[in-house]
Amino acid sequence: MRKQVILILASIGTFVEALDIAIINLTIPTIQEQFNITNDTVQWLQTLYVLFFGGFLIIGGKLADQVGRKKMFIGGGVLFMLASLGAGLSENFESLALFRALQGFAAALVMPASLSLVTHTFQEPKERSRAVGIFSSFAAIGSGSGLSIGGIISTYWSWHWVFLINVPILAITLLLSIYYIPKDEIKQDDLKTDYFSGFLLVISLLLLTFGVQKLNSFQENPYLISSSLFIGAIFLLLAIHRIRTLENPLIDPSIFKERSVVLSNVGFFFLGAMFVGFLFSISLMLQNDMHHTSAAAGLMLVPFSILSALIAKFILPLIIKRIDPPKMGILGMSFMVAGNLLLLLATYLGHPLIIVLLAAACISGIGMTICFTSLSVLGVRDISQKDYGLASSLTSTTYFLGAGIGLSFITFISQFFPSNLAVSPFSLLVLTSYALCGLILLIDFTKKDQHDSR
């Protein structure tokens, strides 16, 4: 009984984090209206969350091992709850953005601790596989249901409750965690972890993202933008240098000797850029361009969450038996490209609902499910079991970094192609290019893989 309760508590933790990536998207028009801000400003609510989440994820995993799973789960959960409370009570955009960044940082602490709780609670292989499957399904349900829940809350309550709803859920979860989760047993480790590289990485990406997004106003703020790009590049190079030269780096660079690991991470970067950009775009398209309410838009997307779950349960096992991970990734990315092209077509045909929903089915219902699974398997295919944890953390990190950088790039590049639509055709072309890059990489890898096996 105690083990099942721990599984539920850990799963609720990851559910809330996954939920908060998607839940904000259908509240964006309401937030824009209240604070009178543009698309390129409001997207920072998503960019800050995913950059802080992805940037600090590896540090969160290291802390869970060194400080303790229970301490990090409860500590990170308390911080996430307080950040959610602050976001929900925010009266200006600046404070909302700050608390959104804190949510991302807290999520990076909770996620590795949650998974570690599950894997250490369930030791028997079959039991552990089942537990990890349940844990992962909560993350998938959180991501899938976020749009629907966000739309309903935004319509019938207010956008504030998108954040405030986390508070009672986490308060109950944390109180139960204090009682049910056993005390940490920490093994002393003499090796010092290079946390400084993690901070350099996050700061550099924030500075580079800000600089790229503001390039169109370079003449108005040349020194601010130049210094942001220059310092961001220096910090990024310094972080890479430390990772390559330190005796005990934050990330062991030897893991990148395997071509499959490199492909998996680059693929996840483009997948994050494409999918989070899609979530942002589909919410604006359904509400601002097609004039549906938040609740109606959310309910329209519910079937694709169900479709994703059905494919994961019944179709994926059959695909995995018949084709290898790279070819499976090609299949998934092909659906992503097709879905984006359908969205692009819809903008020229006056946004017929059937085409928009068919595009959402290709991307959210089918493509994402297949791509995520194939790239995850590919990321650990050619490495030893002892590196599985690092490999999983890396792919999650690159996915969220891709999400933050990709979304900012869409906002930046779209400013040079003004449109009367909330989601311009050029924005969708950029999204399509992300999916095409992932598809081309997988096709090239498959050809080389087949050549090497001969």
Give the per-residue pLDDT at 25.
78
pLDDT value, residue 129: 60
Q: Please report the pLDDT score of residue 96 as a whole number.
A: 94
The neighbour count for residue 31, using CB atoms within 10 Å, is: 20
- pLDDT of the residue at 254: 83
pLDDT-derived band at 253 (thresholds 50, 70, 90) equals confident
- What type of residue is 18? A
Q: What is the mean pLDDT of the chain?
A: 84
Q: What is the pLDDT of residue 11?
A: 83
**pLDDT value for 132:** 65
Query: What is the structure's pLDDT at 345?
Result: 96
Q: 1-183 — its CATH code?
A: 1.20.1250.20
Indicate if the pLDDT at residue 344 is higher than 80: yes
| Three-class HEC string of 149-182 | HHHHHHHHCCCHHHHHCHHHHHHHHHHHHHHHCC
How many CA atoms are closer than 13 Å to the CA of 161, on its beta-carbon side?
Answer: 10
CB distance 278 to 423 below 8 Å: no
CA dist., res. 401 & res. 267, Å (int): 12
Name the strand (E) or helix (H) holding 351.
none
Supply 291's token pair. 């004039």
DSSP letter (8 states) at residue 383 = S
DSSP 33-75: HHHT--HHHHTHHHHHHHHHHHHTHHHHHHHHHHT-HHHHHHH
How many residues comprise the chain?
A: 454
Please give the C-alpha separations between residue 138 and each of 166, 167, 182, 229, 372, in angstroms, as whole numbers.
Answer: 15, 18, 22, 38, 15
Q: Which CATH number fits domain 258-454: 3.40.50.2300, 3.40.50.300, 1.20.1250.20, 2.60.40.10?
A: 1.20.1250.20
pLDDT in tens, 382-408: 777 566 666 767 887 888 778 878 887
Distance CA 449, CA 322 (A): 17
Cβ within 8 Å of residue 263, ≥6 positions away: 326, 378, 441, 442, 445
pLDDT above 80 (res 356): yes
Which DSSP helix (H) or strand (E) runs through 273? helix 259-284
Q: Judge if 1-183 and 258-454 fold alike in CATH terms.
A: yes
Q: Does residue 351 have a pLDDT over 60?
A: yes
Q: How far apart are CA 131 and CA 125, in angstroms?
A: 10
Angstrom CA distances, 130 to 31, 82, 119, 361, 369, stand at: 40, 32, 11, 28, 19
Query: Which residue shows structure tokens 């850029």?
Result: 273
The amino acid sitting at 390 is L
Provide the Cα torsion 267, 272, 274, 277; round to 10°. -170
Identify the pLDDT of residue 230. 94
For residue 189, the model assigns a pLDDT of: 55
**Cα–Cα dist 136/23, whole Å:** 18
* 29 contacts 43 by C-beta, under 8 angstroms: no
Residue 285: band (very low, low, confident or very high) from pLDDT cuts 50, 70, 90 = very high
Mean pLDDT over 166-173 rounds to: 92
Whether the CA torsion 11, 16, 21, 22 is positive or negative: it is positive
Amino acid identity at 9: L
Which residue in 257, 252, 244, 250 sits closest to 382, CA to CA?
Answer: 257
User: What backbone phi and psi angles, to 5 degrees, belong to 291?
Assistant: 65, 40
- Judged by average pLDDT, the poorest of 152-161, 329-338, 424-433 is 152-161
Query: Vertex 132, ends 129 and 138: CA angle to 5°?
Result: 145
Tell me, what's the pLDDT at 79?
A: 96
**Cα–Cα–Cα angle for 209, 83, 193, nearest 5°?**
65
pTM: 0.81
pLDDT for 389: 61
Q: Say which residues have a Cβ less than 8 Å from residue 218's Cβ, sequence separation at least 6.
A: 225
The more confidently predicted of residues 98 and 17 is: 98
User: Which tens digits make up the pLDDT trace of 173-216?
Assistant: 999 999 888 887 765 555 577 788 888 888 888 888 788 777 77
Residue 21 to residues 37, 280, 374, Cα–Cα distance (Å): 20, 10, 22
Read off the pLDDT band of 412 (50, 70, 90).
confident
Domain ranges of the chain: 1-183, 194-249, 258-454
Give 23-64 pLDDT, tens digit per residue: 787 788 888 888 888 877 888 888 888 888 888 888 888 888
Through-space distance between the first and last CA atoms of the chain, rounded to whole angstroms: 52
Tokens describing residue 33: 């209206």
Q: Give dist(CA 326, CA 439) in Å, integer.
A: 10
327 φ/ψ sector (left φ>0, alpha ψ -120 to 50, else beta): alpha
Tokens of 263: 């492909």
pLDDT tens for residues 150-163?
777 777 788 888 89
pLDDT of residue 453: 61
Using pLDDT thresholds of 50, 70 and 90, give the confidence band for residue 372: confident
